[in-house]
Amino acid sequence: MGLPARAPSTDAPVAGATTEAITELTIRSQQWLDAYYRQDAALIKAMATSDMKISDERSAEERLPPGLPNVRRALERVTCQFVGESAVFSARMTEQGNTAGESMPYRSWVSEIWIREAGQWKLMGVRLLDDTQLK
């Protein structure tokens, strides 16, 4: 599953492998974002390279308050670009949870750099921006 050991050096996507890799990266991104929200240090570390960098440029008002139960998160407008054993993943993220009895959506953009190590996708870098920062 995922990319072959060495991706061809062309701009054309690899049929099948690219679709599988995009699906795999989308799932892994959602898992990592869930762990990041919960501040699950063990899972964050397990999914990342040893030198991973996080840049969360959202203010406290632009993200869900920590510790909410039943947070829902969706990724849309997903794009991936593959170069050899690396990928750049980006998506628009909508998070929802009940705050003060109200369900408010928080929209952000996420960009991630993934590296394939020993057959596993590892997160090398992530940047989170509020939706309004890109308008």
How many domains, the chain? 1
Encode pLDDT of 82-115 as tens digits: 999 999 999 999 999 887 778 888 999 999 999 9
Is 108 inside a domain boundary?
A: yes
Encode pLDDT of 28-85 as tens digits: 999 999 999 999 999 999 999 999 999 999 999 899 888 888 899 999 999 999 999 9
CA distances from 111 to 6, 37, 73 (A): 23, 16, 15
- pLDDT: which is higher, 18 or 55: 55
Look up the CATH number of the domain holding residue 38.
Answer: 3.10.450.50
Q: What is the pLDDT of residue 17?
A: 55
Is 8 inside a domain boundary?
A: no
Is 40 inside a domain boundary?
A: yes
Is 4 inside a domain boundary?
A: no
Residue 25 is part of which domain span?
A: 17-134
Is 38 inside a domain boundary?
A: yes
- Which spans in the chain are helix H? 17-38, 41-46
